[in-house]
């Protein structure tokens, strides 16, 4: 049976183009460029909590890195290095090969070096720490929103959550509908290029991982402001739009999670610049509301009334 170090050497020891020293020693050595700040984030995916235990390992490899890249996208940072820690019930080399294929497939697209981590036996658990660079003082932050800012969101919302409800048997989707939603759930596309393009344009940003209402709420909390969004302005896939305003569809749209889109605020005078920046990286953005001084988050229905919100966002301890 292969040892821990054999498995690391076989599946995770790759040349580190952007590091002084990568995998193989007690610690990695990295050197950020002059005039750059380090942006660091970590995310954990736990079997049975964040994914089904029999999930495809290549998709898990992709998603384990993608959710971390999404955090750096929200900071307008360029990803550079990653640390990966994996707990495995057993040393299943076929599973490891698939996981590594998905992980490094995405890492190579974004120029990310795997520079360290850990492996152990235990319940299936995937933990990634991501490090990136951003010009000093130019990171997008949650506390930067200003009264009067437009609120924007990239891509579409709710499709991944709808796919999860399909897997859980809460509704049935047609085959083509299910395939599209499950692609969003299992293989999210981090908006790294959009985040970088928004540097100097947006005042605040966050990635939508736990649902729009919950994540936007973090911007409002840190900025000590409120907001109003227009339900009709939210970008939704056709499969979800056809099911609105049913409660399950509304919950997927507003609080479903797993979107990994960017929600950000920017001054109204920069609308054309925001659209141009998004167009330059091939990502659609939608203006969904505005930041106000009155605390709280309000959702305006198409008829002009306020939505009675009973959903917020994903809670890891609920």
Delimit the domains of the chain by residue range.
4-135, 142-300
Q: Quick one: average pLDDT of 62-86?
A: 96
- Confirm whether residue 117 is marked as ligand binding: yes
Q: What is the pLDDT of residue 236?
A: 97
Per-residue pLDDT at 143 exceeds 60: yes
pLDDT digits (tens, 9 = 90+) for 194-211: 999 999 999 999 999 999
Q: What is the pLDDT of residue 314?
A: 43
Per-residue pLDDT at 105 exceeds 70: yes
- Confirm whether residue 259 is marked as ligand binding: no
- Confirm whether residue 26 is marked as ligand binding: yes
Domains 4-135 and 142-300 share a fold: no
Per-residue pLDDT at 313 exceeds 80: no
Per-residue pLDDT at 92 exceeds 80: yes
Instruction: Tell me which long-range contacts 102-107 makes (C-beta under 8 A, separation of at least 24).
Output: 102/57, 102/58, 102/59, 102/60, 102/61, 102/62, 102/63, 103/61, 103/62, 103/64, 103/65, 104/14, 104/61, 105/58, 105/61, 105/62, 106/61, 106/62, 106/65, 106/66, 106/69, 107/65, 107/82
Q: What is the pLDDT of residue 315?
A: 43
Per-residue pLDDT at 130 exceeds 60: yes
pLDDT band at 54 (very low <50, low <70, confident <90, very high): confident
Instruction: Give the C-alpha distances (Å, rounded to integers) separating 29 from 21, 32, 66, 111.
Output: 5, 10, 23, 17
Among residues 235, 3, 225, the alpha carbon closest in space to that of 119 is found at 3
Q: Quick one: average pLDDT of 288-304?
A: 95
Q: What is the pLDDT of residue 167?
A: 93
Q: What is the pLDDT of residue 48?
A: 81
Per-residue pLDDT at 28 exceeds 90: no
Evaluate whether 59 touches 167 at the Cβ level (below 8 Å): no
- Confirm whether residue 280 is marked as ligand binding: no
Q: What is the pLDDT of residue 18?
A: 73
- The whole-chain average pLDDT of the chain stands at 90
Strand partners, 150: 266, 290
Q: What is the pLDDT of residue 19?
A: 66
- Secondary structure of residue 264 in the 3-state scheme: strand
- Confirm whether residue 210 is marked as ligand binding: yes
CA torsion sign, 174 to 175 to 180 to 186? positive
- Secondary structure of residue 205 in the 3-state scheme: strand
Most confident of 26-30, 118-122, 258-262, 303-307: 258-262
- Confirm whether residue 314 is marked as ligand binding: yes
Per-residue 3-state assignment (H helix, E strand, C coil) for 101-150: HHHHHHHHHHCCEEEEEEEEECCCEEEEEEEEEEECCCCCCHHHCCCCCE
- Confirm whether residue 207 is marked as ligand binding: yes
pLDDT band at 214 (very low <50, low <70, confident <90, very high): very high
- Confirm whether residue 13 is marked as ligand binding: no
- Confirm whether residue 54 is marked as ligand binding: no
pLDDT band at 234 (very low <50, low <70, confident <90, very high): very high
- Confirm whether residue 71 is marked as ligand binding: yes
Tell me the fold of 4-135.
Answer: 60s Ribosomal Protein L30; Chain: A; (3.30.1330)
* Contact residues for 113 (Cβ-Cβ < 8 A; gap 6+): 14, 16, 17, 18, 19, 22, 80, 81, 82, 107
| 295: number of Cβ within 10 Å | 11
Asked: is 142-300 a CATH 1.10.287.3510 domain? The reply is no
Q: What is the pLDDT of residue 316?
A: 40
Residue 288: phi and psi, rounded to 5, are: -115, -5
CA distance linking residue 151 with residue 120, whole number of Å = 43
- Confirm whether residue 118 is marked as ligand binding: yes
Q: What is the pLDDT of residue 318?
A: 44
Per-residue pLDDT at 183 exceeds 70: yes
């Amino acid at each position: 049976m292969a040892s821990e170090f054999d498995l690391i050497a076989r599946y995770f020891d790759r040349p580190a183009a952007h590091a002084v020293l990568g995998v193989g020693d007690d610690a990695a050595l990295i050197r950020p460029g002059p005039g750059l700040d380090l942006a660091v984030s970590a995310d954990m995916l736990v079997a049975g909590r964040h994914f089904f235990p029999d999930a495809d390992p290549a998709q898990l490899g992709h998603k384990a890195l993608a959710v971390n890249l999404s955090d750096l996208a929200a900071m307008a940072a360029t990803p550079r290095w990653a640390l990966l820690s994996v707990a495995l019930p057993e040393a299943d080399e076929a599973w490891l090969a698939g996981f590594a294929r998905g992980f490094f497939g995405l890492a190579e697209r974004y120029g990310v070096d795997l520079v360290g981590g850990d492996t152990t036996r235990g319940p299936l658990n995937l933990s990634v720490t991501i490090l990136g660079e951003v010009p000093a003082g130019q990171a997008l932050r949650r506390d930067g929103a200003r009264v009067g800012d437009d609120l924007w969101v990239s891509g579409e919302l709710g499709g991944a959550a709808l796919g999860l409800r399909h897997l859980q048997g809460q509704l049935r989707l047609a085959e083509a509908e299910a395939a599209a939603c499950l692609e969003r759930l299992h293989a999210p596309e981090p908006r790294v290029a959009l985040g970088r393009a928004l540097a100097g344009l947006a005042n605040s940003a966050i990635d939508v991982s736990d649902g729009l209402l919950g994540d936007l709420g973090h911007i409002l909390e840190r900025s000590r402001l409120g907001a109003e969004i227009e339900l009709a302005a939210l970008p939704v896939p056709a499969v979800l739009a056809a099911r609105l305003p049913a409660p399950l569809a509304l919950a997927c749209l507003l609080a479903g999670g797993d979107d990994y889109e960017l929600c950000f605020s920017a001054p109204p005078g920069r609308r054309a610049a925001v659209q141009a920046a998004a167009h330059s990286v091939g990502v659609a953005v939608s203006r969904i509301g505005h930041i106000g001084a009155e605390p709280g988050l309000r959702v305006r229905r198409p008829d002009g009334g306020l939505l009675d919100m009973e959903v917020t966002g994903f809670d890891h301890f609920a």
